[in-house]
Structure 1
């Protein structure tokens, strides 16, 4: 006797899952990996201010295409173009991630009950990513729109933005939220696609990276504040001494 498989007469994506769901998962993971990688690079780029104004200035010139200009100076339009590109990636990533947000009161209650009773570490990590993602929905566009409208970067101009324009508050809120969200995202991508087998070790590595990146970002932000407090009310772009 052969086994018989019962197939519903009416094909329903609710029973089988929509084929777009798998594509959306891959797209969410790919954009998340791209954003998290950029975050790690960006925080180390910003930390060059800890080595002095001169180091930060020349690094900015290189990243803004100074190697391809006659005078060696970067072009601020590069920052604008790249900021627009990153904004598009953020929007795409957010659109894919919104599929996973609890949309009903019952789902929120079930999640809360699961967090309290089961205390599963991966569920707790997902909750923190959910919470920080909600915060970033407001903070990241504010940061990117600022870079699009005012792309000038330099030791003096960046420090003036932090202190005189009071952007230190935005960055103080953005830093921990984006680091926690991005690093938990890397953990979940690695687990989801089977890149690691030992979750316990990976969780410890991610926690250390979160602490390291937040401390690095705080040190950089403090350096900008110190520089900004010494600037006059009318700020001029930094001039290299080399």
Structure 2
């Protein structure tokens, strides 16, 4: 009898031991994934609004680019393209880290996908369906985001004419047309899930409405910006001359 009690106590202690029940790296990985997700989601919000300055005219977009590239530290007022290159390298590193952490929960076998689809079809849980769409868009972004960032690393020159040339004459609109909905949906659902995961919000319904509104708003903003680049690019003749304030 005593031996049985002792054995039960040993099992209980071992079971409740966090190092035995689960590897401590799992919790750290969750936190790191959330942190990198917040960084990328915040960057997306800023990036799309900076890009949309083209809607206010070439001059405004040009000034925004010079500001972001440190033009105030240049004697000519022109920014440094290497700033864009360096920032693109850093963002690529964050994206790779975030993707590596997210792959821990990615279904890797056909049977797992079938079980997931069957599970989704049998429940009407909104957060689970949102997670599924984040999973799908994450898979798409795994291929599209590196292409975009490598483009900016290899050719960091940005401007009303140069960006329009990339979009229209280099057919980058194909990439951005796929990238826009995938990255917006993935990022906004990700921000929602981080807020819920760490208990920052108690009422999920209002947050869902806010996220849906942000998705629609960002899709419209991004589409309008992409169309503006297309219109500008269509009016440019090759070889493209960089935009100069006051020169058109």
**Contact kept? 2:14, 2:20, Cα under 8 Å:** no
Report the CA distance between 1:38 and its aligned residue.
0.2
TM-score, normalising length from structure 1?
0.95
* TM-score, normalised by the number of residues in structure 2: 0.93
2:79 alignment partner in structure 1: 74
Aligned to 2:186: 181
Cα RMSD for the two superposed structures: 2.0
Report how far residue 180 of structure 1 moved. 0.2
Instruction: State the shift of 1:102 in Å.
Output: 1.3
**1:170 match:** 175
Cα distance, 1:111 vs structure 2:
1.2
Corresponding residue of 2:233: 228
Worse-superposed segment, 39-48 or 103-112: 103-112
Aligned length: 241
Q: Cα deviation per residue 1:80-129 (whole Å; 9 max; x = unaligned)?
A: 00000000000000000000101233322221111101121111000000
Per the TM alignment, residue 10 of structure 1 is displaced from its structure 2 partner at its CA by 7.8
2:150 maps to 1:145:
yes
Between structures 1 and 2, the one with greater helix share: 2
* Gap regions ≥5 residues in structure 2: none
Give the CA deviation at 1:5. 3.7
Higher Cα radius of gyration: 2
Q: 92, 101, 105: which is aligned to 1:96?
A: 101
Q: Which digits, 9 at most, give the CA deviation of each residue in 1:187-206, with x for residues without a partner?
A: 00000000001111111110
Gap runs ≥5 in structure 1:
none
For 1:20, the equivalent position in structure 2 comes to 25
The reply on whether 1:85 has 2:90 as its aligned counterpart is yes
The match for 2:11 is: 7
Most deviating of 105-114 and 37-46: 105-114
- Tell whether 2:212 aligns with 1:207: yes
* 1:9 positional shift: 9.2
- Pairwise CA distance, 1:17: 1.1
Distance 1:126 1:207 in 2: 14
Secondary structure of residue in 2 paired with 1:7: helix
